[in-house]
Structure 1
Amino acid sequence: MQVEEQSGKQSEPAIDGRSEDTTLTSPQNTQPSTMKNALVTKRSNKFLIPAIALALAALGVSIWLVFGRSNPPQNASAPTNTATNNKDQPKAISALGRLEPQGEVIKVASPSALGTSRIVKLMVKEGDIVKQGQVIAVLDSYDRSVAALLQAQSQAQESERNLAKVRAGAKSGDIIAQEGNVMSAAANIKSLEANAARIRAELEIAGRDYNRFLQVYKEGAISQTVLDTYRLKVETLQGQFTQAEQQIQQAQFQLRQSQGLLNSVREVRPTDVQFAEAQLQTAIVNVKKAEVDLDLAQVRAPIDGQILKVNSKIGEIVSQTNGVVEIGNTQQMYVVAEIYETDIGKIKVGQKASIQSEVFEGEITGKVERIGLRIAKNDVLGTDPAAKTDVRIIEVKIKLDDSQKVSGLTNLQVRVKIEV
């Protein structure tokens, strides 16, 4: 069979134009060449396949980077984002704050109706506990107000008695008595006028003597002592005469009052009653006004609380800016926490809070009682040099559960942590 196949191959024409002798080879000559070609092909395939695989992998990664990140699958990324948000979301909000008493610190000033007032008596000192309405200080207008009140009360009593007399009507005995008062007042006036005339005459004589001795003194006949004696006599008589004239005027006024009262007791008319009632009402109003003025002459505590600072001492004029004292209700303390505007949405009334400071040991708990209604710049500055110093905050008031520990630490800076 081999011989026939070989003969058959030899009978075929040459393909590449070579002679049959050059193309004819025995199987022994062909085998090494074929094996060599197969070995080369195998080595080429060994490097080509991994290169193609790496190229496909790189292409897949590029496609995933381009399309996978820009359009992530909703179902695959949702749990991851949720887990991340839950992890990043804080359980508490920290902030700086300051301590203040309930109702804030009040600067008690003197009444503005009195203008500038000077303190004559200070009734309290720093640390004293006061009640609402308690007198804190007495101003320089107090004595004058007391005198005005006594005068107004006296006039009111006199007006009341006068009205009672007018309403009761006059008796014959009262009329006779009042007529006697009028006659007595008239006689007193005559006596005073006679005394004034006598003093005037003496004054004229003393004046002429003084002028005569003054001329003699200028001539050098008498000494200065003698001249001063006559001058002193003139001045004394002049003072007596002035006093006598004043007495006459006062007696005339009393006479007019007596005559008016006599006329009123002789005849009781409705108009007299109305007039007496009007006088009484005016006197009552004057009493009330005097009472108000007396109350304004004293500085009183507006609330129950503790005196935190005394700004004005005895003898000083009260400053309308700083007032007399600063007072606060330290029985219940609050913390004013400055919360960043970006965190205020997480703060709710009733949330628990903890307060810490280096001044006191441990921490004090409290609850959020009120959230501010306006945004402002922060007042409390921390010690962190990298923190923002010009931020917008909202004040949140926290009511402390235990105020006794910090009742004497108003305006202390504290650290606040609110559980959200």
Structure 2
Amino acid sequence: MKGRVRWLLGGLLFLTLIGAGAFFTQARGRSPALPETATIRRGTLRITLSAAGKIRPRAQAVLNFATAGTVAEIFVREGEAVRKGQSLARLDATDLELAVRQAEVAYLTQQVVYSQTVQGPKPEELAAARAAVRSAQAALRALEQGPDPTDLEIARLNYEVAKNNLWQAQLSRDKTAGSPTASSVDLELAQARVGQAELQAEVSRLQYEKAQSGPTEQQLKAAEAALAQARANLTRLQVQDPSLDVQLAQYQVQQAEIAVRQLELRLEQARLVAPIDGVVTAVNLVEGSPAPAGTPAITLGDLNHLEVVVNLPEVDVAQVAPGQEAVIIPEATPDTRLKGKVISVAPMGFQIQGVVNFPVTIALEENAPSVRAGMTVQVQIAVARRENALLVPRRALIARGGQTFVTVMRGDQTETVPVRIGMRGDTMAEVLEGLQEGDVVVVPAAQAGASGTRVPGPGFFGPGFFR
């Protein structure tokens, strides 16, 4: 049993040695793997910054009615191209139109008044004013002089006549009452004549007493006021320099004109007009319904001129300036490349999650049918460009002890040399010192899971493992 085990172990060891010998023999017969290399050449080095953003129209307009009202007409629909100054919609403005017409009439009236004021008073107006003064003077003078004797005598005689009429009416009534043939109607008529005579006698008595007492203080003040008003009117008409009246009339004309303009503005606000050339992107109106208060009525966008706004952190924005070229890549069509140019950098940043960002606006210099406003895009901004630069792949750079090295092929041998690097792009870097055009450098292959790169040695398990 033990002999059989020894025999099996020996066989396994023999087979292992044979396999290993064959393997190493094959390995020694193979040529070592050649490293990846790159030839140093001159070219253009571009440094880019990338950020995401959304395409939007360069010019946009959000329109709302400045006054409340009912939508009367809508003249456009979504997707329709419009020109600047074109009417888009209007409210029912019947009341405003009537108010404008009324204000225009008032304005014309004030213009007529102004013309009359400039021309001055007419002769007949002066004659009437002088006559009014004379009449007021005569009325006041008559009141101040007291009752006229003739008027007083007339009042007394009227009172005497009234008393006689009363006595006659009383006698007639008594005679009718004593007559056996008089009816009740005759008696009532006689009594009515007595009552009328009594009333007339009382009126005559009061008029006689009033004529005797003369004018009251209130009558005198009223007459004085009437005279003062008549004189003031005459003085106003007789003014030789009517500049104040003309100026007042001019102000009234201007005030009426302002009222017309205010109502015309309100009438204009009842109509939406396109402020730019563009395309209608939204219509939130319904004919016959009130104009919306919380949402835009109509929005416009200039879809012929698009732009992208991206937010760049403060560490990058210092490299960006207007005029720099950019490439726009839509996420929906990643194979599309559109030219762009930086047109503005915000002078002030804003903070997002502890990082200060600055909005940068890039204008699209070309368009594609598949690209539309609102799409998400990646923007690559060319912040630096070096022509005729000596270029080396960044993977060929070796950082060691604060210095940068590259591995240069010298025939069949390699040599590690120090270099001074200038600008660094995404894949290439600028060589300032240490290399010449035509040099061949080793480009280490990237290792999965490794943090750096290395150059493989000539042996299977590394350089010098087997000799």
User: Smaller-chain TM-score range?
Assistant: 0.3 to 0.5
Question: When you count helix as a share of all residues, which structure comes out higher?
Answer: 1
TM-score (normalizing by structure 1): 0.47
